[in-house]
Chains A and B, each alone.
Chain A
Amino acid sequence: MSEEIIKAEELTKVFNKHLTAVDHVNFNVKHGEVFGFLGPNGAGKTTTINMLITILKPTEGKASVLGFDIEKQNNDVRNVIGVVPQEYTADEDLTGLENILLCADLYGIPRDVAKERAADLLKLVELTDFKDKKVQTYSGGMRRRLELACGLINRPKVLFLDEPTLGLDVQTRTATWNYIRMLKKEYGMTLFMTTHYLEEADALCDRVAIIDHGKIVVVGTPEELKHSLGGDVITLSIKENADVSDLIHTVEHVKEVKNENGSYRIKAEYGEATAPFIIETLRRKGYTVTKLSMTEPTLNEVYLEYTGKSMRDTEESAEAFRTQRMTMRRARA
């Protein structure tokens, strides 16, 4: 078996001839790892996944899953992958078990095998007691688990998860993370997931690709990415209305200063030791520090570093927003 489970070369998708959703993306996913696509809504994550799971044709470039070309051998790809979509796709009018068996039918799995696997999967996602209840009555977390069970019915070698915890509460999210960790550990499954939650990428992924405006900005393990920032981040504000970037820069160990609307993001080595010097320097020149915080680098800092904007500020496309809202509404129902 090839070490590279997923391989994408210059993968590109252009909608309506001018809207470039995914822009010449290159990456590969190794056997047994959890690979995460991190980016805001509308960054091209779902479009990338849709190309890899063969429901969208790339405009340019190519990709393969387990050596099968996603365009020329799309049916082979479909046979070896499992998909857990962003939306709740289970049929609400059917029961949990009926939904799983429907998925099994779509893969052509014989009924007796399907029933056995369905029982195992229902146990795995702890839905055995609810298997004969209509999906309408399920909570958001239960639905997500049912989607997971459906995605595993064909014993996939690669599982694709699109925003697996969107709209879930904190507890359910943590539970979902545990399922994902277990799949990796117990079954040695390769997972490809997208998320716009930094803590999710940090908690689950072996490697993360940060994607913004359809382009991959950086790829690496969460640790590598954090380390690449080279130091801690000190954020401070002063009372006075003046630009003191240059002044802060004169302090020893300060590597970089950015003024973001009166709030300074300072990158410095030995943050704990440097911070007092910065305050002292500013005080001597007559400035008053009103706020100061220090963070060891998180993926958020990485994200900020590479995309130039905070995760929270990114605006969402109307379509993504609508879909998300709909998913959330169904999660709450």
Chain B
Amino acid sequence: MSRLNEHHPSRLHGIWALTKRELKKWLKEPIILLMAILQPVIWMGLFGKAMNIGNMFSSGNFGNINIPDIQLPGYLLNPPYMAGNVTIPSAILTQGFQQMLSNNIGPSVMQNIFGVKDYFSYMSVGMISFIVMFTTMFSGMSIVWDRRLGFLNKVLSTPVSRGAIIFSKVLNASLRAMFQATIILALAAAFGLQLSSTFSVVNILGIYAAVFLLCLGLSSVFLALALRSTKWETQMAIVNLINLPLMFASNTFFPISQMPDWIQTIARVNPISYLTDAIRQLTILPLDASSLMYDFTFLGVFAVTFAIIGIALSWRYLTK
């Protein structure tokens, strides 16, 4: 029998049609869009500015510290030798200490621990990972509604490829996350982000690539999860259980090197750490090509592995 329908949708056509639907829905809901922009502002304000870690090392915080007198045996001194002890008075020592603090010991400590001089720059970049993770985890949830409202079944009865259905969701999550990453970066720059000398506009493409890799892996898994859980509440519970722990067991807000060993172990396999580090390398840190390569390799392996697992599970569900 001859083919009855002259049109056969290409894979890309289907992906684009379904992605366009999601984006349209998103753009038509100004409140959600506004929230998506406000959320990082609030977090950056609260974490980045309220947790003023750099300021902890300023002289004002050490005003009540008194260094006691120090007595030295006289023979330690350069000639002329003296018998008995020499006393360096407390006042001189305290004054010296205060002077040292005002000579920017704070920024040096920050530089040693965080790699940058101000905490705001450190955390506002980490904020990108935070938002990317949130957006991605929740975006899979829309398929629960698509299924409940029958939209999924309708799409399944059309010749659009099953892969296109899955991939459009993943793509949608990634595009949203990239949009938010852009907003955060722009806002952070406006609020005083200190970019390193190696930063260039090309680096932004690198950030997108890193964000995309994490989104690909995470959203594939969460999509499969959403397809299999019959209620959106289940998905909510899982997301709420793991998102904050994943966030704090990473370098998003605090350097891994300062954490206890067992948290370090988690943080070193946590893909969030690698995304955050990659973005920091590309923005505020002097670019270190080898560690950036390492970050991208890890993110790449994570993305491919989890995308395969997620897509395989979704595929099995959609072709049951």
* Interfacial residues, chain A to chain B (CB-CB below 8 A): 50, 53-57, 66-68, 75-76, 78-81, 83, 85-89, 91, 93-94, 98, 102-103, 105-110, 113, 134, 150, 154-155, 157, 326
A150 to B150, CA, bound (A): 14
Q: How many residues of B contact A (CB 8 A)?
A: 33
B155 at the interface (CB under 8 A from A): yes
Contact A66 B153, CB 8 Å, known A106-B17, A107-B158: no
A107 and B154 form a contact (CB under 8 A): no
B10 at the interface (CB under 8 A from A): yes
B289 at the interface (CB under 8 A from A): no
A272 to B156, CA, bound (A): 54
A332 to B84, CA, bound (A): 100
- Which among B24-32, B41-49, B120-128, B200-208 touches the partner chain? B24-32
A50 and B153 form a contact (CB under 8 A): yes
A102 to B4, CA, bound (A): 21
A113 to B148, CA, bound (A): 31
A142 to B153, CA, bound (A): 21
Contact A108 B153, CB 8 Å, known A93-B25, A94-B21: no
A91 to B20, CA, bound (A): 13
B24 and A108 form a contact (CB under 8 A): no
Contact A79 B159, CB 8 Å, known A105-B17, A154-B5: yes
A150 to B158, CA, bound (A): 11
Q: Find the residue from A56, A66, A107 having the highest chain B CB count within 10 A.
A: A107
Contact A106 B14, CB 8 Å, known A55-B157, A86-B150, A91-B21: yes
A102 and B154 form a contact (CB under 8 A): no
B4 and A88 form a contact (CB under 8 A): no
Name 29 A/B residue pairs within 8 A (Cβ), A-sorted: A54-B156, A54-B157, A76-B4, A78-B158, A78-B159, A80-B5, A81-B157, A87-B150, A89-B149, A89-B150, A89-B153, A93-B28, A94-B24, A94-B25, A102-B17, A102-B20, A103-B158, A105-B9, A105-B13, A105-B16, A105-B20, A107-B7, A107-B9, A107-B159, A108-B7, A134-B28, A154-B7, A154-B158, A326-B148
Residues of B within 8 A of A86 (CB): 150
Q: Tell me how far the C-beta of A102 lies from the nearest C-beta in chain B, rounded to whole angstroms.
A: 6
Q: Find the residue from A102, A105, A150, A326 having the highest chain B CB count within 10 A.
A: A105
Measured CB to CB, the nearest residue on chain B to A53 is B157
* Interfacial residues, chain B to chain A (CB-CB below 8 A): 1, 3-5, 7-10, 13-14, 16-18, 20-21, 24-25, 28-29, 148-151, 153-160, 319-320
Measured CB to CB, the nearest residue on chain B to A322 is B148
Residues of B within 8 A of A154 (CB): 5, 7, 158
* Given A109-B7, A154-B7, 5 additional A-B pairs, CB 8 A: A85-B154, A88-B150, A89-B154, A93-B24, A108-B7
A93 to B33, CA, bound (A): 14
Q: Tell me how far the C-beta of B23 lies from the nearest C-beta in chain A, rounded to whole angstroms.
A: 11
B320 and A57 form a contact (CB under 8 A): yes
Point out the residue from A55, A66, A93 that lies within 8 Å of B29, measured CB to CB. Answer: A93
Measured CB to CB, the nearest residue on chain B to A105 is B17
Residues of B within 8 A of A87 (CB): 149-150, 153
